[in-house]
Amino acid sequence: MSTQDNSIETQNRGCPTMGGPVAMAGAAADPLAFVRTEDDGLEHLDLLVRGARCAGCISKIEKGVNAISGVRLSQLNLSTGKLSVNWVPGAADPGVIARTVADLGYQVSPYDPGEAEVERDKHGRFLLLCMAVAGFAAMNIMLFSVSVWAGFNGEMQETTRTFFHWLSALIALPAAAFSGQPFFRSAFASLRKGKANMDVPISLAVLLALGVSLYETITGGDHTYFDAAIMLLFFLLIGRWLDHRLRGQTRLAARELLSLQAATANRLDQNGDVQAVQARDIEPGDHIILWPGDRAPVDGIITEGRSDVDMALVSGESAPDLVQSGDAIRAGMVNLTDKLVLRATARTEDSLLAELTRLVEAGETARGRFVKLADRAAQAYVPIVHTLAALSFVGWILIGAGVHHAVLIAAAVLIITCPCALGLAAPAVQIVAVGRLFKRGILVKAGDALERMAEIDTVLLDKTGTLTLGKPRLVNTDEISADTLEFAAKLARSSRHPLSRAIADLAGPGGVANDAEETPGHGVEGTVDGARARLGRAEWAGVEKQNETTSGLWLVVKGQDPVHFIFEDALRVDAAKMVAGLKARNLSVEMLSGDREAPAKAAAAKAGIDIVSFGLTPQEKISRVEALVSAGKNVLMVGDGLNDAPALAAANVSLSLAGATDASQAAADMVLQGEKLSPILAAYDVSRAARGRILQNFGFAAGYNMIAVPLAVFGFVTPMIAAIAMSSSSIVVTLNALRPFMIRHKSS
């Protein structure tokens, strides 16, 4: 099943509430129109979920969707609100998926990155307004509360005290009704569906404090807690707003990719007229004009024009490349010098840019073992905390405390035990680490890849295409005249062999030999300028077999001396530096190559690798990886993602070097973009730092609960202090995740 219509502009704009037969936002929003088919054959749907606030929400939503028959995987990214669901074609209904999420108490609509960002900004402004109202009300109520406290020396009459209580109530009740909306709405929506989330006990605590205070005011009691209830909301809102802001920082990687997506485009209609259209309305086959400075809105093929293009998105290099008719360019690339006409080959959601964004979000969303541990703890929160609060209430009643005092202690227990810090401990660090690695040119595809990368002790490196560029380079150009090069190129242009292509590329555009015929595995033969010639292996071309340690081709023309074209697969510029960096980190480094002994050992020597295995078949590479794993080694396999795919899969963790065009096909946990290898060191260092940061967060969260819960149960904590403590714990954990990762520079 393929995507039929991805225009959220026409189907879902201005429909913020749930409705319709499939519980999507807007009656016209048919989820079937937003389904796409993945490379693995599974059908995929992205939904925007509103109202998810914590790890408990993630667990509840994913558990509910995963229970649907046919669903293979569902993952919710709390930072973006994006729920990604994969299922077996025909085995699940996208309408049922959307309705399941809605039945859990959340608003759901088709995912639009632009709309999601608007929703997040809108929610942030609303939180800020609620916080301002709560803060203003708290300051005014405190004026009356201070007066009441000061008047207990006998100077204030009961009538005056009751009057001040009523003034506090007149301020507190409407302020709480407005400022408590983020918690009350979420709790009500959850309870309406027969569920309970973390906002239920928070709302219950606020209502209990207000209820006891109102009862005390009506009955003429001495003490009320309107100030505590409003201050509770104020501090909770501070924590939630800061959490919202801090989570925004973790979305930078995907947001930067999103900023590369052109919003509009100039499309040519059938009459040749230019129309300004939304990028998401472009269909494969449409012709788009790219003026200098325009960013390509979709992937496509150049049909007209010649221009320099900024291709840093693919190559990682700042130098522009020249493109012309027949060349492919990708969404996000910038036309620099002249007009181009592009024939679209994909929609925006199927373009390279969209695929890279999905890879980044997949790395942020996927679950490692630390995240799963935190999720399980968050699942147990609601029943445990309600039971603990109820026991605290009953216990204080039994020892003779008043009802209102027991209620306030129960409220403090409800608040202070919220496991927000525990729920954020691992996901916050993981999201930040994935974003940091993305900036260094590494796409993390597996959630637990960072954890496995932190444990490696052995690194296996492929040679061709990994340590080397995988592109043959002519090294004896000084020995070959321009005429000889062009002569050989006329034969080479008829061949698909990599060495022949290197000669043709070096010579540039030109003529082709007459009646050229290629003999696979040997070379190409043809007539050039009336002379019969061969370009290929020495023995086939008629040259006496020599003990060559380098790759090469021989050009043999009747009546002339043979010419030897010598090639080498150049080492990447930072290969030796990267290997030295791995060794400095006490990692064992080994090279696995299918190449011949001489070039394999030469490349290893230049890179500084002592252990070399050469002439290996793919199966022999797998055997070597499995032998090391069986011996208790934690192996990182680095390969080109194509012929090394089996060995990549067999290793503990794998990293593939691939151009951005191959990113979605790379059979690895991580994908390295660009020509340099040094980001591998960053991947190891960031992974180690992230693991340490997660353990720090777990330790802090556990210590916080061990101290805070007994204090609340035994009555040493007021609801206001509980709110400050709970919000502060979440902020500390998130700030710790956002601390810059210290990257080692020794030999790197």
Q: Which two tokens stand for residue 721?
A: 């202090």
Sign, CA torsion 261/437/635/465: positive
- Integer Cα distance of 548 and 152 in angstroms: 102
**How does strand 18-19 pair with strand 24-25?**
antiparallel
Q: What is the separation of C-alpha 499 from the centre of its chain, rounded to a whole number of angstroms?
A: 38
Closest CA to 515 of 536, 541, 499, 534: 534
Q: Which amino acid is present at 372?
A: K
* Whether the Cβ atoms of residue 624 and residue 616 lie closer than 8 Å to each other: yes
Closest CA to 424 of 694, 640, 649, 648: 694
Sort 57 into a burial class: Cβ within 10 Å, 0-12 / 13-18 / 19+. buried
* Whether the Cβ atoms of residue 172 and residue 141 lie closer than 8 Å to each other: yes
- Integer Cα distance of 208 and 186 in angstroms: 17
SS3 label, residue 402: coil
Beta bridge partners of 290: 340
DSSP state letters, 402-417? -HHHHHHHHHHHHHHT
Active site residues: 462
In what helix (H) or strand (E) does residue 240 lie, and over which residues does it extend?
A: helix 226-250
Neighbour tally for 583: CB within 10 Å: 16
Report the greatest alpha carbon distance in the chain: 124
Neighbour tally for 563: CB within 10 Å: 20
Q: Which two tokens stand for residue 67?
A: 């229970």
Q: Which two tokens stand for residue 581?
A: 């960096």
Q: What is the three-state SS of 678-711?
A: CHHHHHHHHHHHHHHHHHHHHHHHHHHHHHHHHH
- Integer Cα distance of 279 and 98 in angstroms: 26
- Integer Cα distance of 252 and 431 in angstroms: 10
* Whether the Cβ atoms of residue 562 and residue 433 lie closer than 8 Å to each other: no
Q: Which two tokens stand for residue 15?
A: 């429909």
Q: What is the separation of C-alpha 569 from the centre of its chain, rounded to a whole number of angstroms?
A: 34
Contacts of 200 (CB under 8 A, 6+ apart): 187, 190, 191, 382
Beta bridge partners of 536: 523, 554
SS3 label, residue 450: helix
Q: Which two tokens stand for residue 393?
A: 């209430």
* Whether the Cβ atoms of residue 344 and residue 300 lie closer than 8 Å to each other: yes
Q: CA separation (Å) from 478 to 71, 474, 484, 566, 640?
A: 62, 10, 12, 11, 32
Q: What is the three-state SS of 100-142?
A: HHHHCCCEEEECCHHHHHHHHHHHHHHHHHHHHHHHHHHHHHH
- Integer Cα distance of 210 and 304 in angstroms: 71
